[in-house]
């Protein structure tokens, strides 16, 4: 029996600070012992592929491994035919396996035709090096191209009680093409664990320092949703994150729910979501509340964007401009082909004059 809750290794990319590899290995082994069979990684998550492959070299047939064709050594996406073949072979070597269950396109490569990329993926599938392939962080119009030219089986989406937009965007595609939706960000980057205060200070290298979900109106709304989940959790003697994961598991089209536990205790808590059993009235009420808040999200984001763009450069310009970029993207007001370029510009910027130039460019997309 395949587990509905999977374990992702994004944390080994260093985005949440340094991780203890022994602790991660123990967590992975514990996950397997407790019935988890789906593990997600990427060639760009530090040494995550090697860690995963070494941990399960003797249990390979019992688990599903999903990895991604991702950024090259030059930090660019290359989805050309030859590059995909080479990248897959490198991942197979690092994973210490002769096949990958789900090989996913991590980011878009606008310079390569989707038809060529699909040819590479189909070649890998026919040769037995991958069983299926899927889509990661790509705009909807590109996903439709993959469906037209190939046969992707999975699509990765961000879905949690805090954020529904990507899920709702893909729901019709799921119905039309039976795409398996694999959710990420399922615990709201940890917010739904209930372990963080509203003004929590993360480690210096933790990506949540600039994550829009932890800023301005979005973090206030997130805690409002968390409070609602806590009310229900108390009645069932469960934790907030277990209720949140249970809710995701009961959304139409969800195939696997990815979590990123760094310790065995977090792992056990997450797996426990599969044993939650809300009565229908509570599930309906929670869903109603979550969708009600979702319908307020665009106005919250737009209000914050207007405030940032109308104000002087703050003491945290990177965080503010990332918030604007993410918000404009979510509102479908930013050119999806330029997202990564703009993100890199913001992250590399280190002077106020350049911040002002970027801010002025972003203003053009606001209306």
Work out the percent of the chain whose per-residue pLDDT is above 70.
95
Give φ, ψ of 150 to 5 degrees.
Answer: -135, -155
Give φ, ψ of 77 to 5 degrees.
Answer: -85, 130
CA dihedral 274, 275, 281, 284 (to 10 degrees): -10
Q: What is the pLDDT of residue 11?
A: 67
173 within a domain of the structure (yes/no): yes
Number of folded domains in the chain? 1
177 within a domain of the structure (yes/no): yes
Distances (CA, A) of 275 to 90, 139, 256: 38, 34, 16
178 within a domain of the structure (yes/no): yes
Kindly indicate the confidence band of residue 12, based on its pLDDT and cuts at 50, 70 and 90: low
308 within a domain of the structure (yes/no): no
Write down the residue that tokens 């969708």 correspond to: 291
Distances (CA, A) of 170 to 43, 174, 314: 26, 6, 36
Residue numbers of the domain that contains 126 = 5-209+237-277
Of the given ranges (234-238, 249-253, 304-308, 347-351), which has the lowest mean pLDDT? 347-351
70 within a domain of the structure (yes/no): yes
**Cβ-contact 62, 32 below 8 angstroms:** yes
Give φ, ψ of 256 to 5 degrees.
Answer: -140, 145
Looking only at the bridges linking them, the beta strands covering 100-107 and 154-158 are unpaired
Looking at residue 161, which CATH number applies to its domain?
3.20.20.100
Task: Provide DSSP, 213-248.
Answer: GGSHHHHHHHHHHHHHHHHHHHHHT--HHHHHHHHH
Which residues, listed in sequence order, are joined to residue 132 by a DSSP beta bridge?
102
Q: State the Cα–Cα distance between residues 327 and 344, nearest whole angstrom.
A: 16
pTM of the model: 0.90
Q: What is the pLDDT of residue 8?
A: 87
Is residue 20's pLDDT more than 80? no
Q: What is the pLDDT of residue 303?
A: 96
> Encoding tokens for residue 93?
């070597």
- What rounded mean pLDDT belongs to the chain? 90
CA dihedral 262, 264, 270, 273 (to 10 degrees): 180
Q: State the Cα–Cα distance between residues 32 and 16, nearest whole angstrom.
A: 23
94 within a domain of the structure (yes/no): yes
Write out pLDDT tens, residues 109-144: 888 999 999 999 999 999 999 999 999 988 888 999
Give φ, ψ of 44 to 5 degrees.
Answer: -100, 5
Q: State the Cα–Cα distance between residues 313 and 20, nearest whole angstrom.
A: 37
Q: What is the pLDDT of residue 15?
A: 44
Q: What is the pLDDT of residue 240?
A: 97
Q: State the Cα–Cα distance between residues 98 and 105, nearest whole angstrom.
A: 19
Q: What is the pLDDT of residue 9?
A: 83
Which residues, listed in sequence order, are joined to residue 65 by a DSSP beta bridge?
39
> Encoding tokens for residue 324?
């604007």
263 within a domain of the structure (yes/no): yes
Write out pLDDT tens, residues 24-71: 888 899 999 999 999 999 887 778 899 888 999 898 999 999 999 876
171 within a domain of the structure (yes/no): yes
**Cβ-contact 80, 113 below 8 angstroms:** no
Distances (CA, A) of 41 to 30, 163, 258: 17, 22, 11
Q: Three-state DSSP class for 138?
A: coil
Report the sign of the C-alpha dihedral through residues 339, 342, 344, 346, in that order. Answer: negative
Write out pLDDT tens, residues 179-236: 999 999 999 989 999 888 888 888 887 888 889 999 999 999 999 999 999 999 999 9
């Amino acid at each position: 029996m395949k587990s509905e809750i999977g374990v992702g290794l994004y944390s080994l990319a260093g985005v949440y600070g340094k991780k203890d590899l022994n602790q991660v290995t123990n967590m992975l082994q514990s996950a397997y012992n407790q019935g988890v069979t789906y593990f997600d990684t990427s060639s760009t998550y530090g040494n995550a592929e090697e860690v995963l492959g070494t941990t399960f070299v003797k249990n390979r047939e019992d688990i599903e491994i999903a990895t991604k064709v991702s950024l090259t050594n030059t930090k660019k996406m290359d989805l050309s035919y030859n590059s995909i073949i080479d990248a897959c072979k490198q991942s197979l070597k690092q994973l210490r396996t002769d096949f990958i269950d789900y090989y996913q396109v991590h980011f878009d490569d606008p310079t390569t035709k989707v038809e060529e990329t699909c040819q590479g993926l189909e070649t890998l599938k026919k040769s037995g090096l991958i069983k299926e392939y899927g889509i990661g962080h790509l705009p909807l119009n590109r996903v439709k191209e993959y469906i037209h030219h190939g046969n992707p089986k999975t699509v990765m989406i961000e879905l949690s009680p805090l954020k529904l937009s990507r899920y709702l965007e893909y729901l019709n595609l799921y119905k039309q093409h039976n795409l398996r939706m694999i959710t990420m960000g399922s615990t709201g980057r940890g917010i739904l664990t209930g372990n963080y205060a509203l003004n929590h200070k993360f480690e210096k290298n933790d990506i949540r320092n600039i994550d829009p979900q932890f800023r301005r109106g979005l973090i206030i709304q997130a805690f409002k949703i968390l409070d609602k989940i806590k009310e229900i959790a108390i009645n069932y003697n469960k934790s907030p994150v277990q209720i949140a994961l249970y809710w995701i598991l009961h959304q139409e089209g969800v195939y696997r729910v990815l979590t990123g536990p760094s310790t065995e205790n977090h792992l056990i808590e997450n797996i426990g979501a599969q044993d939650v059993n809300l009565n229908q009235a509570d599930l309906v009420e929670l869903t109603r509340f979550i969708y009600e808040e979702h319908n307020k999200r665009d106005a919250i984001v737009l209000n914050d964007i207007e405030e940032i763009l109308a104000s002087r450069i703050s003491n945290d310009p990177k965080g503010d401009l990332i918030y604007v970029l993410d918000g404009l993207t979510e509102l479908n007001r930013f050119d999806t082909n330029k997202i990564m370029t703009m993100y890199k510009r913001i992250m590399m910027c280190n002077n106020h004059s350049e911040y002002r130039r970027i801010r002025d460019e972003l203003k053009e997309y606001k209306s």
